[in-house]
Structure 1
């Protein structure tokens, strides 16, 4: 089990690097740093001309490939060692399949180009793979009772809320990625509202304004929903430390995320702030995924 735990931890942190690397490529406009060549750079094993964009893009490819091997090994080993646990086989498949899909979409974008609306799916697909790897890691650490999640029972009404929230959050993540890929980050120079032009401006500039403000509105709804669920958990799960602590962390992450969203505008899309913005939403989705797992188990208990 020591090997499996180590592999799980490495894969989880590796997937975070993949997510941040993808965000870095987008933020720095390095997607074509290797030209229209994949997996090589400009058709060369060792590029003769090296610049910052090439280094960023090539580093992302190398990290993604290396992490892909870790995730594949984790999936195979988990299947063999702990495949008797109900969720393991599905999560093993999900982790590698979506990481592979993310790589193929990236390769297709380099070779043939893709619309901004297709490229915006890239981050969300990576998030699904990261969440699956994180859940596998938590399940592996559950086996020797490092923490007790078996006693948690989530009521049906709250389970429905969790299912709805994570589905909605993935949609919001997509709108955020669309903001990045359409270069709409600074079309609204104010926060939280946009005073640049009429809300009924449907020119090409106006569409970008709608994308930006649509994302802000959608993100605001996630913030409100998270606060509401936190209060609900505090009232209904007074003796459940896992639920209360988990949703306290969720609220903190969401407050930080909203603040970072504002600082992205204030700092004119400072790279570090933008990467932190991507990191925090990744952690938030990972946390929601765990409560999704607990909800699935609770539903099975009720059926039994």
Structure 2
């Protein structure tokens, strides 16, 4: 019974952090970052705001969800350290989850109170993604270790593919950072045509808002080609491990959805639903990639 509750808590925590990521995107894309003024943890000097503006309630709701999620993260971390004492992966990720959720909250607080540069604001989104994927991995491990009919994900891939997943994950994080940087430098509509950049193959100046968007596009294209190549190799070399190809196919699918939603952002002049879909798809893609990375880092177990 208690193991079942632990599994439910692990999945619920990962899901609530996904909601936090999407609500953070909602705050950014509705101009609600200062909906509570420069006050934190109060909102316009009040515990519960009386203002009726949408921006205030969006920001306030985001803070409430972050607070609730932080409590879940702490409870889950303590429970894991007690229940899964022998599972080093779980204990490390549990400690990391507490650090990341508070780092995420601190970056959000500092942006409100002191204001931050575009670099730091983009980093805030990156930390939010790490927080989600960290807890997604916790949920996977908890299910592996506590469900009586679940097998541990150790496919027996070679060391070279493990390093491929490591470098692919690092590169993906950098690509996502460039996307967040584009958004926080107001460069999303610096080039409204696709695949051209204001009618040209290359931007007039690379260090410009159009240049930032161009760099992000090229980086995203390389990422898509990299994932496709990895899927082809895994499909050919690891036919006996269909779960590996399935995870990669799903990752590629969400990556393509994310790219398509990026085009929609341009076509709809940054309609809110396209911006939220853009954040959702990249978050799910990164989560799947982190599961693949975790499997890749287990290569020694399968020797």
After superposition, the C-alpha distances for 1:156-192 in whole angstroms (9 at most, x for unaligned) are 1111110001001111111111111111111101012
Q: Which residues of 2 match residues 203-282 of structure 1 at below 5 A?
A: 207-282=208-283
Closer, same or farther in 2 for the Cα pair 1:233/1:145, shift >3 Å? farther
- Residue aligned with 1:120, SS: helix
1:123 aligns to 2:149 (yes or no)? no
In the alignment, which of 175, 181, 186 is matched to residue 183 of structure 1? Answer: 186
- Residue aligned with 1:154, SS: coil
1:199 aligns to 2:199 (yes or no)? no
Quick one: distance in 2 between partners of 1:152 and 1:145?
19
- Residue aligned with 1:75, SS: helix
Closer, same or farther in 2 for the Cα pair 1:147/1:252, shift >3 Å? farther
CA contact (8 A) 1:261 1:277 kept: yes
- In the TM superposition, what is the alpha-carbon distance from 1:196 to its structure 2 partner? 5.5
Quick one: distance in 1 between partners of 2:113 and 2:199?
37
Closer, same or farther in 2 for the Cα pair 1:288/1:146, shift >3 Å? farther
- In the TM superposition, what is the alpha-carbon distance from 1:265 to its structure 2 partner? 0.7
CA contact (8 A) 1:176 1:215 kept: yes
CA contact (8 A) 2:154 2:302 kept: no
TM-score by length of 1: 0.94
- Residue aligned with 2:297, SS: helix
Residues paired across the two proteins, number:
299
CA contact (8 A) 1:189 1:196 kept: no
Q: Which residues of 2 match residues 141-152 of structure 1 at below 5 A?
A: 141-143=143-145, 144-152=147-155
CA contact (8 A) 2:154 2:299 kept: no
After superposition, the C-alpha distances for 1:112-148 in whole angstroms (9 at most, x for unaligned) are 1111111110111011111111111011111225443
Q: Which residues of 2 match residues 106-185 of structure 1 at below 5 A?
A: 106-143=108-145, 144-185=147-188
Could you tell me which residue of structure 2 aligns to residue 48 of structure 1? 50
CA contact (8 A) 1:12 1:133 kept: yes
Quick one: distance in 2 between partners of 1:133 and 1:16?
10
TM-score by length of 2: 0.95
CA contact (8 A) 1:131 1:286 kept: yes
Closer, same or farther in 2 for the Cα pair 1:164/1:139, shift >3 Å? same
Quick one: distance in 2 between partners of 1:109 and 1:151?
41
Quick one: distance in 2 between partners of 1:191 and 1:176?
16
Quick one: distance in 2 between partners of 1:24 and 1:109?
16
- Shifted more, 40-49 versus 140-149: the winner is 140-149
Quick one: distance in 1 between partners of 2:26 and 2:101?
17
Closer, same or farther in 2 for the Cα pair 1:96/1:146, shift >3 Å? farther
C-alpha RMSD over aligned residues: 1.5
